[in-house]
Structure 1
Amino acid sequence: MSQSIGQKFTPLKLLKFAFPSMVMMVFMSLYQVVDGIFISRLVGSRALSAANIVYPPISVLFAVGVMIATGGSALVSKELGEKKEKEAREDFTFLVVAGLVCSLLLMGIVVFSGDALYYLLGANKELIGYCREYLVIVMYFAPAAMLQMIFQSFFVAAGKPHLGLAVTVLAGITNAVLDYVFMGIADMGIMGAALATGIGQVIPAVIGCIFFLQKNKELHFCRFVPDFAKLGQACFNGASEMVTNISNAVITYLFNIIMMKLIGEDGVAAITIILYSQFMFNSLYMGFSMGTAPVISFNYGAKNEEEVRKITKICKRFVIGSSIGVTILSFLLADFVTMVFVTRGSAVYDLTVEGFILFSISYLFSGYNIFTSSYFTALSDGKTSALISFSRTFVCIVASLMILPQLWGIYGVWLAIPLAELVTVGLCIVCRKRAVRK
């Protein structure tokens, strides 16, 4: 394993190494996107709005999982680079157990909260039935979702990114097929979408357990003594990724409230489609960062400073160049992506296409911001990473949403994310220059 993340990387080798994680994250984003397509086409735009309204609790689950996964994999990869294999295995096992406990606690909170939670999230009487059916079933699969997120990062740390890709593709195909079976053939409505998503998450969770139970692997489950200091270190180091997901929950809530006030349910459906698309495009950079972070962490732990600088330079060139391509692609695909969800000529269609084009400006900047935050996580600088993520995904966006819609109405909603990403680029540049001086 160590030969895999510890090898000398050329630009092509690094991209090939990160590619499985990139595809894996895109497929993960497709879980939600495919659900949205089937919900919109087979159940209706009202159900699509409901799925977005209940997304914040799901995002909190993702936040905890990503925090443990990214912060923990950086910690464990660094220990492997320092030749502390036994300590790495014990910490890995404890982090997995801690993640499972957190998922069970979150599941209990959501399931027993009742309808008060849905009204708090912005649902009305017409949507609350859809909200209840979808969220409760999704949360019953919370432990499987948690294991999937944790294993994705540790497959890379174990030098097996292709295995992570394979199980994610398998899970994604299963999810899509079951969406059609449950919502189309069985006519189960939005409940079928939730059930399909949960079953899809079980597949990588089970395969990951089987893989890490094998004692002949350098990274595997073992007996451990709970080390809460290490858990705290991993959580602090992965705080930026947690902040990103928690902020996504808050931002989704604000978008829903603002759009419901400005336009109504059609506005919520339109922003739902655009946020699905954002999640899918940004997942490319989340996957790239996930695939390269263990490499940076390993070389950082092994004191290979020159290799760290070389890898970072390759990453920056890829992110900046591909961001331009992604932005152009999103402009060209605005009409096509919208038609996948809703019929051309409908009110939701017109709103979405208009918003999609303005919103796509954000892709020029988001890739660089995502990678820079991950870079500091890989260097065990959780403080700087959290600062960037919190500023990008919360402070700047909330400020934009509070100000721009008041000035420009619906156009202010579409431009809130692009402005927030642009401001964050400036912060990233300042943090990188400060790190170079150190």
Structure 2
Amino acid sequence: MEHFYSRKWSFFDYLRFVMPSVFSMFLISLYQIVDAFFIARYAGPLAMAAVNIILPFFCFTFGMGVMLAAGSSAIIGIELGKGQPRKALAHFSLMSGVLCLLMVMIIGLTVWWGTDTLARLLGATDALLPYCVGYLNTFIVGLGGLVLQVAVEYFMRLDGRPGGAFLTSCGAGLTNIVLDYVFIVRMGMGIEGAGIASTAGVLVAIGMGVVYFLFKSKRLRFVKPRLDVRFLLGAMVNGSSEMVSEMSAGVKTLVFNYMVLRYAGEFGVAALSIMMFIYYLLSSVHIGLSVGVAPAISFNYGKRNFQKIRQLVRTSGMTMAFASIVTFGVAIVYGGDIIAIFAKGEQDVITIGEGGMNIFAFSFLLEGVSILASGFFTAVNNGKISALISFLKSFVFTLGFVMLLPPFLGLQGIWLSVPMSEVAAVGMSVFFYLRYRRQYVCPDSSKNG
């Protein structure tokens, strides 16, 4: 029987497969925003700023998980498409063990290093240090567990169960939201309560994943693993663009925190925190589209079904264009209202945030191009180009503009650096796609005219 990935999809089939990933990524960002809402409303703007100080470390741990999960799932998907299930299962089992080991290492190193030292390194001021340490102390296990949570969802999608990945996100998100209310609002535990609630959500997702792959999996199951250094290195290289994206988010946050502190003080960082949560929430729609279609591209690339790849690329491009217009509209129309809800009457925070969001919003019109391009190259096992796209966009373009523009434009230059970097990223992404189109999308174009 023909595999679902190989069949000709209607647009409804495409949405049925991709939308659970969109909802899943959206939900992950949403329950981070719920964290932010409870912290901002019930613990104050300094606690909100502290979360943004810790965010780079969150991005680092999450990025390692995404790197290994995305890189390995693309390779395993190609192996399944080639009809090599034994090899695919061995690699799946090996990567699962590596991710468990990585989780333990992250927790151990954080405890050994010390949360106060880590908070200082991330840029915590004397006023923010108690909040940062309180959050880290209660979220250590959750930070390590992020690498397994993201892998569970990637592997479920690879197994042909995007709905399962969505339900896993729902379980984690609902746990987090309910416990946020219990610990922060009812018990008055402040930022420490947020850390405990987030950790509980991560552990629920991991537990659901373990149950699924032990008892419910369709194709992927655990077998006796065998060390394959070449596979591990290949997964790291292929997923390096995702790692670069997450790492760059952390580095950008550090740089943005420094620049905003310089131009707008600690209330400016509080406004930036709210803006970044909105930014990540809306960007998750674009990321979800890219992540959702990746397993089908990997499988069909392994099967050499380029007609199907062309269909997926066309449909993804049109869907991404529509999603970009919608997210831009939401940011422009509702961005200021969302900031006002979070700021709870702090007029300085509201004024700074509204001005920044009106500029930030234009990045949503463009960012889908580079996200889709980077995800495509990861799916066809060209991690080098995928990583190059992410690196140039995040480290060269964004950091370049954020250092160059503020001396001339002040605080507005910081906000403008994001859409300006997306303009440059669009040109770069189109160049690489056209450069490699014949290799990955239309290798038979000369025959077909």
Which moved further from structure 2: 16-25 or 91-100?
91-100
TM-score, structure 2 length as denominator?
0.95
SS in 1 for 2:223: coil
Is 2:301 the counterpart of 1:300? yes
Alignment of 1:41-60 (within 5 A): 41-60=41-60
Instruction: Work out the number of aligned pairs and report it.
Output: 438
**Structure 2 residue identity aligned to 1:58:** F
Aligned partners of 2:84 and 2:250: how far apart in 1? 37
CA RMSD of aligned residues (A): 1.4
Aligned partners of 1:170 and 1:425: how far apart in 2? 36
Conserved in 2, the CA contact under 8 Å of 1:25 and 1:283? Answer: yes
Is 2:162 the counterpart of 1:161? yes
SS in 2 for 1:159: coil
Structure 1 residue runs of 4+, over 6 Å off?
none
**Structure 2 residue identity aligned to 1:342:** A
- Counterpart position of 1:97: 97
**Structure 2 residue identity aligned to 1:301:** G
- Counterpart position of 1:25: 25
Aligned partners of 1:215 and 1:424: how far apart in 2? 41
Conserved in 1, the CA contact under 8 Å of 2:6 and 2:308? Answer: no
SS in 2 for 1:123: coil
**Which sections of structure 1, spanning at least 5 residues, go unmatched?**
none
Q: How far apart are residue 125 of structure 1 and its match?
A: 1.0
Q: How far apart are residue 345 of structure 1 and its match?
A: 6.0
Q: How far apart are residue 272 of structure 1 and its match?
A: 0.7
Q: How far apart are residue 404 of structure 1 and its match?
A: 0.8
- Counterpart position of 2:3: 3
SS in 2 for 1:171: helix
Q: Deviations over 1:38-75 (max 9, x none)?
A: 00001000000001101111111000000111111111
**Structure 1 residue identity aligned to 2:239:** G
SS in 1 for 2:215: coil
- Counterpart position of 2:445: none
SS in 2 for 1:112: helix
Is 2:210 the counterpart of 1:226? no
Conserved in 2, the CA contact under 8 Å of 1:100 and 1:143? Answer: no
**Structure 1 residue identity aligned to 2:406:** P
Alignment of 1:47-196 (within 5 A): 47-114=47-114, 115-196=116-197
Q: Deviations over 1:220-260 (max 9, x none)?
A: 11111111210111111111000000011100001111111
Conserved in 2, the CA contact under 8 Å of 1:74 and 1:378? Answer: yes
Aligned partners of 2:219 and 2:329: how far apart in 1? 43
Q: How far apart are residue 215 of structure 1 and its match?
A: 8.0
Aligned partners of 1:122 and 1:224: how far apart in 2? 41
Conserved in 2, the CA contact under 8 Å of 1:172 and 1:200? Answer: yes
Aligned partners of 2:380 and 2:16: how far apart in 1? 22
Q: Deviations over 1:295-341 (max 9, x none)?
A: 00000000101111111111111112221221112100112211221
Q: How far apart are residue 356 of structure 1 and its match?
A: 0.6
Conserved in 2, the CA contact under 8 Å of 1:244 and 1:390? Answer: yes
Q: How far apart are residue 216 of structure 1 and its match?
A: 6.7
Aligned partners of 1:311 and 1:176: how far apart in 2? 35
TM-score, structure 1 length as denominator?
0.97
Which moved further from structure 2: 6-15 or 161-170?
6-15
**Which sections of structure 2, spanning at least 5 residues, go unmatched?**
440-449
Alignment of 1:370-409 (within 5 A): 370-409=371-410
Q: How far apart are residue 4 of structure 1 and its match?
A: 3.1
Aligned partners of 1:370 and 1:55: how far apart in 2? 21
Conserved in 1, the CA contact under 8 Å of 2:90 and 2:223? Answer: yes
Q: Deviations over 1:55-108 (max 9, x none)?
A: 111111000000111111111111111111111111011111111222222222
Q: How far apart are residue 434 of structure 1 and its match?
A: 0.2
SS in 2 for 1:54: helix
Aligned partners of 2:229 and 2:30: how far apart in 1? 35
SS in 2 for 1:111: helix
Aligned partners of 1:256 and 1:233: how far apart in 2? 34
